[in-house]
């Protein structure tokens, strides 16, 4: 059993919900892009096509929503190389947490409280039309993908 699977099974009883965070690459026409998406579990085609999109950004403070990533943040990179992931999903209610590799990927809110923990959780992938997603994290928390996607 992988260590991450062991940790996940140990923590699951403590959490009533979770969400998976996917890094998505898409190409259309003469352009391409990268976004992040949150799902409750491995997404269906309909979920991929209709999920909220959280843009990659260098500043997700204030009212700016999106995901700021430091470290190995490219589509094909393993999530264990991500040093910092700041996730700002919504402003009302405020869903804004940062995870740090050197703090065991705890979900730290702007108030300094811990709201859960994320686990590098690769090896899930989707490909729907022009969208190519790779799971990077499973976050164990009371918040669900439905909460984040609003």
- The predicted-structure confidence for 106-140, as pLDDT tens digits, reads as follows 999 999 999 999 999 998 999 999 999 999 999 99
Share of the chain above pLDDT 90, in %: 83
CB 20, CB 116: distance < 8 Å: no
Rounded to 5 degrees, φ, ψ at 105 are 60, 30
Region 26-40: mean pLDDT is 92
SS3 content of the chain, % helix, strand, coil (to 5): 20, 45, 35
Instruction: Using alpha carbons, select from 13, 42, 54, 17 the residue that is nearest to residue 121.
Output: 42
> E strand or H helix at 17, and its extent?
strand 17-28
- The predicted-structure confidence for 65-99, as pLDDT tens digits, reads as follows 999 999 999 999 999 999 999 999 999 999 999 99
Mean per-residue pLDDT over the chain, rounded? 91
Tokens of 121: 């959780």
pTM of the complete model beyond 0.85? yes
Residue 12 has pLDDT above 90, yes or no: no
């Amino acid at each position: 059993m992988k260590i991450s699977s062991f940790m996940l099974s140990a923590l699951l009883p403590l959490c009533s919900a979770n969400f998976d965070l996917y890094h998505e690459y898409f190409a259309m026409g003469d352009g391409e892009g990268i976004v992040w998406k949150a799902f409750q579990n491995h997404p269906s085609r309909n979920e991929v096509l209709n999920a909220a999109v959280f843009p990659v950004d260098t500043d997700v403070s204030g009212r700016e929503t999106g995901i700021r990533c430091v470290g190995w943040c490219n589509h094909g990179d393993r999530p264990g190389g991500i040093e910092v992931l700041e996730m700002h999903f919504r402003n009302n209610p405020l869903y804004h947490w940062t995870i740090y590799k050197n703090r065991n990927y705890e979900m730290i809110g702007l108030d300094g409280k811990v709201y859960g923990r994320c686990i590098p959780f690769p090896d899930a992938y989707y490909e729907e039309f022009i969208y190519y997603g790779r799971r990077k994290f499973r976050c164990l928390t009371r918040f669900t993908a439905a909460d984040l996607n609003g």
